[in-house]
Structure 1
Amino acid sequence: MNVSIVCIGKLKEKYWVNAVDEYSKRLSKYCTLLIDELKEERLPDNASAAEEEAVKTAEGKSILKRIKKESYVITLEIKGNQISSEKLADKVSQLGLDGRSDIVFVIGGSLGLSAEVSQRADYKLSFSTMTFPHQMMRVILLEQIYRAFKIIKNEQYHK
């Protein structure tokens, strides 16, 4: 299975880089993982709503260019579906059984996702109604993908 994470912004802090590297290494046993870091658009200080929308639109265009037509797209959105780790594992497993072997998870920038990216989603996933920094969300997502594969393979993992 091919799993991609398309995300806005680069990881700067070493602790985030180390965590992503660790989960990437763990996931290599279960899938081919690609993390596609896209440029974060500059947002002027005291930006207007129109300027914020322009940033989301530009980032959205970058994201959509990276998604293949046949990919199954899961966007991370506050208003998405909140599911358990077991349900995520079921979803990933079912996608594999359905022949959908190319899954793309999308993490937006600090302003969220453009409407166009949200509309492209096959599934909208929410980890919480709270907002998290996108760097932290990348690590949380990787951990949950890893946990999903452990559940699918019926391998032990701490609860």
Structure 2
Amino acid sequence: MRVHICAVGRMKPGPERDLTTDYLTRFDRTGRALGLGPAQMHEVEDKKGGGMAAEAALLDRALPKGAVTVMLDERGKTLSSPAFSVQLANWRDTGRSDVAFVIGGADGIAPDLRAQADFKLSFGAMVWPHMLVRVMLAEQLYRAASILAGSPYHRV
């Protein structure tokens, strides 16, 4: 199952991009044998200043057709890392070929796009910088693949 991260904004060189790249590379290596990956980043940017609605239109175009859509949203469901790995495996095992994680911009995800989600995922009640959320998601994808592979990376 291919993994897509569809996000508003372009990561500039720096620690967030380095960490995201590192964790997605680890995910690809670990997930390959499990039928997970590769992971691909789709960055969109509204250069005309159209706000959330314009960002939503760009994100919608970036979503692969037929993908499970997962919106990262503070109002979503919080999962433990093992539960997240089970959810990822369930999507894979039900024959879904793509899952797309959507990360909005500084103002979040437009309500109409958020309403189309198959699943809403929260990293907690706190609001996180959208560039840092990419790092956190990439790490959790790698952690999920490690859990499914029986690797000691995730310790209970």
TM-score (norm 2): 0.90
Partner of 2:34: none
Whole-Å separation in 2 of the counterparts to 1:147 and 1:72: 20
Task: Spell out structure 1 runs of 4+ moving beyond 2 A.
Answer: 40-43
Q: Give the Å deviation of 1:69.
A: 3.0
Partner of 2:41: 35
Contact 2:146 2:154 in 1 (8 A): no
Q: CA RMSD in A?
A: 1.4
Q: Aligned letter for 1:123? A: F
Q: Give the Å deviation of 1:101.
A: 2.4
Q: Give the Å deviation of 1:40.
A: 4.2
- 5+ residue gaps, structure 2: 32-36
Residues 41/87 of structure 1: CA separation in 2 closer, same or farther (3 Å cut) = farther
Contact 1:8 1:109 in 2 (8 A): yes
Q: Give the Å deviation of 1:12.
A: 2.0
Partner of 2:3: 3
Give the fraction of aligned pairs with identical amino acids, expressed as a percent: 30
Partner of 1:132: 128
How many equivalent residue pairs? Answer: 149
Residues 16/107 of structure 1: CA separation in 2 closer, same or farther (3 Å cut) = same
Could you report, residue by residue, the CA deviation over 1:52-111 in whole angstroms, capped at 9, with x for unpaired residues? Answer: xx5100000000011133100000001000110011000001111100120000000000
Whole-Å separation in 1 of the counterparts to 2:74 and 2:126: 7
Partner SS, residue 155 of structure 1: coil
- 5+ residue gaps, structure 1: 44-53
Q: Aligned letter for 1:37? A: E
Partner of 2:107: 111
TM-score (norm 1): 0.88
Structure whose alpha-carbon radius of gyration is higher: 1
Contact 1:75 1:118 in 2 (8 A): yes
Partner of 1:49: none
